[in-house]
Structure 1
Amino acid sequence: MRRHLLLVHRSLALCAALTLAASCGRGGTGDDDGRLPAAPTGMTAAAGSATSVHVMWNAVAANPRVKVYEVYRGTRKVTEVPASEHMVDVTRLAPSTSYVFTVRARDTAGRLGPAGQSVRARTPAAVAADGSAPTRPGRARGRVVGSREVELSWSASTDDRAVVSYDVYQGSSKIHSVGAAQTATVVTGLRPGTAYAFTVRARDAADNVSAPGGTVRLTTPGSDDGRNTAPTAFRAASHRAGGAYYLDLSWVPPRVEGMVTEYRIRLDGQAATSLVYGGDAPREKASYSFYAGRDAGVTHRLRIRAKLPDGTWGGWSAERTVTTGTQGGSRP
């Protein structure tokens, strides 16, 4: 009995010494609930070609929030994506091979949660000298499911070898993929009150892509004034180098589902340039400089907007004014 009491007293003393109440089995306060991120749910995997697999999962709610998702092939981590993304194409795979994938969420405190349910996908055989694309998907249809999602369906394509996957486009942007066994899907992460034009293309193992099927035009209900999709903290300044002036822009990318890789810059009311990033697009703060001429004292008006992962253009940033050859930054 005495030994039991000593153990209890030591445990209480240790608990009192800890700074986080949650460590002693009580719910913490503030911005940290003391728990690991949950395991991602809704895992799917489908071959996209003979050397790639498209992996998808549902977002995880956590406190602190999720920072990245880590994607594993077997026990090996093959890539990670920011918390705003819930899908990835795992590439450089071997043809005719079965793979097992899992995903784990890591929060902003660096804590790694458990893996979600494992999913298996098999890449098809590589096809040599295949120059024939699949036929275009037919009977394209769609319906609005909610203010941020729609359901699309189509009839299957044919190929001289085999169709491997279907790619869903909004305008000219690929925004979704499913395996060849699917001829319907739900597209999420859309904007309320927005008109969309969806098409579907079929892909074979040699990465030949069909012509697009019929266009499905749908408008999501609700309203969107563009404010939530506009870049924020937009600033403009100028500097001189080599006898010329350059405009220096900085901004925070919009918080949307997926990565923003393309921007349009508007200069003095006219389209000036487009900025396209690769897979390393900035997520927290972006910057860009471009040539503005050799004359000092020229005033310019600037705005910027982003092409969103759903294939539409977001709202314009606040307008900034900057004059070449002057001290200081932009003015509203």
Structure 2
Amino acid sequence: MRRVSLALICGSLLVLTACGGDAGNNTGGEGPPPAPMGVTAAAGSATTVHVMWNAVSGDVKVAGYEVYRGATRVERVPGDEHMLDVTRLTPSTAYVFTVRALDADGNPGPPSEPVRATTPIEVAADRTPPTRPGRPHGRAVASRAAQLDWSASTDARGVVSYDIYQGGSKIHSVGGGQTATVVTGLRPGTAYTFTVRARDAADNLSPASAAVRLTTAPGADDGHGTAPTEFRVSSHRADGAYYLDLSWLPPRTDGVITEYRIDLDGRQATSLVWGGTPPSGRATYSFYVGRDTGVAYRVRIRAKLPDGTWGGFSAERTVTTGSAEGGDAGTRK
């Protein structure tokens, strides 16, 4: 049996966790939950900001989350939610938000990294809502996700955000320049109805778009629609040792991907967590695998989605240390 030692060489943005474990999880079953990751904040109007974060998963049961504006607690939400619209804000003002997870006894964990958002200027005497979003379209992405898109609304002073509704409940918000999103955390074999509404700086809401109706695939699946794409692996030698160099495009989701699991030869080798702002485009990562020449590895990667579930595996690639081409053999299983 060959032994693979993993070491971080990719810089301060990545934190490598213990092999075979989930990054960022409290595995001892004791103590407070970890800090939420993937926190984002975006103005929804001149007086609102939409705050979103990734669900905390692990051995500590999360009973709820607390959202803070500066040092002031704004609201507490249940543990199965990971978004909040912060209202009654001041126009044209910069704000800082953090989020804390609470355990079953109400004990808070550490705060997330702070995120900032600035509300736009107030538009005086604007009572005209944007036009309704047009030509909405959606498709189920296997059993646990859906991709939605629509055509842009118009407004005399500009659309600030779009609100996405599942049935009668608002489930997400995106910026006014965005006309597509991916919703995760859905149930297999379930019918859903989605609509979209545009919002301007004066908090006027457009009429709802036409309904998008879709049904997720029944049963479990490989999550191909939520897998990293364009996955590539190569190897290089430095100071007498071999390293594997990985690169990929993150899956499209309605939140931020901060955690990945890497498998070698069909078994989990390590989990990694982005310690800073993850790249929006191609991501890269390298790690040490040993000093032996001619060792073949089968490599694949998967992402933890913002709702706390694991997405599908990427295509599996094969690479051999010290091979003549020194690159990705492109083998897919």
TM-score range, shorter chain: 0.5 to 0.7
**Distance in 2 between the 1:53 and 1:110 partners?**
25
The sequence identity of aligned pairs, in percent, is 65
1:148 aligns with 2:136: no
Which residue of the partner structure matches residue 208 of structure 1?
A: 204
1:32 Cα deviation from its structure 2 partner: 6.0
CA contact (8 A) 1:62 1:107 kept: no
User: Alignment partner for residue 85 of structure 1, among 60, 66, 81?
Assistant: 81
**Distance in 2 between the 1:89 and 1:55 partners?**
6
Which residue of the partner structure matches residue 265 of structure 2?
A: none
Match runs of 1:24-43 below 5 Å: 33-43=29-39
SS in 2 for 1:102: strand
**Distance in 1 between the 2:48 and 2:78 partners?**
20
Which residue of the partner structure matches residue 100 of structure 2?
A: 104
1:268-317 deviation line (CA, Å, top 9, x unaligned): xxxxxxxxxxxxxxxxxxxxxxxxxxxxxxxxxxxxxxxxxxxxxxxxxx
Match runs of 1:289-308 below 5 Å: none
Q: CA RMSD, aligned part only?
A: 2.1
User: Alignment partner for residue 65 of structure 2, among 49, 52, 69?
Assistant: 69
1:214 Cα deviation from its structure 2 partner: 3.4
TM-score by length of 2: 0.54
1:222 aligns with 2:210: no
1:124 aligns with 2:124: no
Which residue of the partner structure matches residue 157 of structure 1?
A: 153
User: Alignment partner for residue 52 of structure 2, among 49, 52, 56?
Assistant: 56
* AA in 1 matched with 2:155: D
1:162 Cα deviation from its structure 2 partner: 1.6
1:223 Cα deviation from its structure 2 partner: 5.6
1:26-57 deviation line (CA, Å, top 9, x unaligned): xxxxx963343111112111112211111111
**Distance in 2 between the 1:171 and 1:83 partners?**
21
CA contact (8 A) 1:64 1:109 kept: no
User: Alignment partner for residue 171 of structure 1, among 141, 162, 167?
Assistant: 167
* AA in 1 matched with 2:64: V
**Distance in 1 between the 2:173 and 2:131 partners?**
17
SS in 1 for 2:108: coil
* AA in 2 matched with 1:190: L
Q: Which runs of 5+ in 2 are unaligned?
A: 1-26, 221-333
**Distance in 1 between the 2:147 and 2:53 partners?**
17
**Distance in 2 between the 1:172 and 1:107 partners?**
29
**Distance in 2 between the 1:146 and 1:103 partners?**
31
Name the count of aligned residue pairs: 194
1:137 Cα deviation from its structure 2 partner: 1.6
Q: Which runs of 5+ in 1 are unaligned?
A: 1-30, 225-332
TM-score by length of 1: 0.54
**Distance in 1 between the 2:175 and 2:38 partners?**
15
1:139 Cα deviation from its structure 2 partner: 3.2
* AA in 1 matched with 2:108: L
CA contact (8 A) 2:51 2:86 kept: yes
* Rg larger in structure: 1
The structure, 1 or 2, with the larger RCO (C-alpha pairs under 8 Å, 6+ apart) is 2
